[in-house]
Amino acid sequence: MASLFAENAYLPMGWASNVRIEWEDSEILRVTPQSAPQPEDSRVETLVPAIPNLHSHAFQRVLAGLAESTQGKEDDFWTWREAMYAVAAWINPERLYTIAIQLYGEMVAAGYNHVAEFHYLHQPHPLEMSLALIQAAKDVGIGLTLLPVLYQQGGFGRQALQGPQKGFFLETDEYLRLIEDLRAPCNQQIRLGWAPHSLRAVDTLTLQAVSASLGPLPCHIHISEQMKEVEQCLASYDHRPVQWLYKHMDVSAKWCLVHATHLVADEIQAITSSGATVALCPTTEANLGDGFFSLEAFQKLNGRWGIGSDSNSSVSPFEELRWLEYGQRLLHRKRNIAAGKHGSSGTRLLNGCWTSASAVLDRKVGRLEVGYQADWLVLDSQNPNLFQHAHLLDALVFNGNRNPVLESWVSGRLVAQKGEANYQDPNAFRQLLHDLRGAL
């Protein structure tokens, strides 16, 4: 058994003083506020839960900055995909491992403890590609929910896959075998879910059949990200995407709807009533011109949401949360949208992340509480953005870009210190970037 004593810690009921935490293996066994330190305790000043990352495409870490110039025509999400496809076609298992080591190290150093990896780079080595991500997560020490993606058509109406999209394809029986093969390496740190890429990428009968086969696993799906997608769904199915999903699928608290940018009132009602979680990725949604999520209306119905780093052009949970709130302020032309009429925006934003993730990651995370994973952040109390701040959670989100994380712990292990992961291979990543620049 191991133990830690924090002068201040953010517990489910709020801030508490002189908190002693005991854990064994990866699980918290006892949390005691107003306690006295013991000789064997590690001693820290300020402790908060680590932050779950609900949506990531690891390989896109190397795409950052490569799709920010125009080529003689208007640029949008659909033209951005061409740059993404070019990078995707270059990735093999060894390169994916190198990218993931770099990315996952950046994540734990920034405050993420667990990542949902939405993984659709399959061919020509489906199992090896997935195992590369698992090995990278194990080496870095981050928690991973691997979400192999089912991607079988290029658009609504059974459009054929084109070019690099063919590398995302698996026959349904191949996909189910891959899921079965990936059960073996799972443990308390490595979890497994499944992910139909989107309604445009999987037909109705296949979606229903696979869902029935994989029932208890978490399910993540891209949905209603772009208005063109909504319009195509209306033309093909006579329903908006979320409307169609709730009419044809048994959506539960194990479902994570990624983006859900363009919702109408009955869709918001359906999501919040089902207990599903929405994964918001504000830096990517801004980069791709997706639009603004209906956060204010969603919160009024006590909807569940969290954040993801998605394309990984930013690997900071605090920047994602700041973008989420600032986007809402620009949209509504008023302040403190997340806080509501009585509250703190920083507290409400962080609590949104901490309370939403366990069901859709299949791992008890986000709380310093008995039975949860021993995942937490030791904050740098000497950081000028945090020093003696009366509203610490607001300062975490809104006070500058300097990394406030002194130590990051996952499964009871120290995995990052002072902005650097304990396991890194920067030379391999630099060589990979050199090779990529020469290939594109």
Give the residue numbers annotated as catalytic, written as ranges.
Answer: 259, 310
- 388: how many CB neighbours lie within 10 A of its CB? 7
Q: How big is the chain, counted in residues?
A: 440
CA-based nearest residue to 90, from 134, 59, 49: 59
| 3 state DSSP class of 367 | coil
Strands 255-259 and 2-11: unpaired
One DSSP character per residue, 228-284 reads HHHHHHHHHHSS-HHHHHHHHS---TTEEEEE--S--HHHHHHHHHHT-EEEE-HHH
Fill in the DSSP letter of residue 309: -
Long-range CB contact pairs, 230-234, < 8 A, 24+ = 230/262, 232/155, 232/156, 232/200, 233/156, 233/199, 233/200
Phi/psi at 55 (nearest 5 deg)? -160, 120
Alpha carbons 348 and 268: distance in angstroms, whole number: 19
Alpha carbons 422 and 360: distance in angstroms, whole number: 27
SS3 content of the chain, % helix, strand, coil (to 5): 40, 25, 40
One DSSP character per residue, 53-67 reads EEEE-GGGGGGTTSS
Strand order in the sheet with 376-379: 27-32, 14-24, 2-11, 42-49, 376-379, 405-410, 413-417, 420-421
Burial letters for 355-364: b for 16+ Cβ neighbours within 10 Å, e otherwise?
Answer: bbbbbbbbbb
Fill in the DSSP letter of residue 160: P
Phi/psi at 371 (nearest 5 deg)? 95, -15
- Residue 353 corresponds to which tokens in the numbers above? 């992340």
Cβ proximity of 243 and 266 under 8 Å: yes
Per the listing, tokens 């539960």 go with: 252
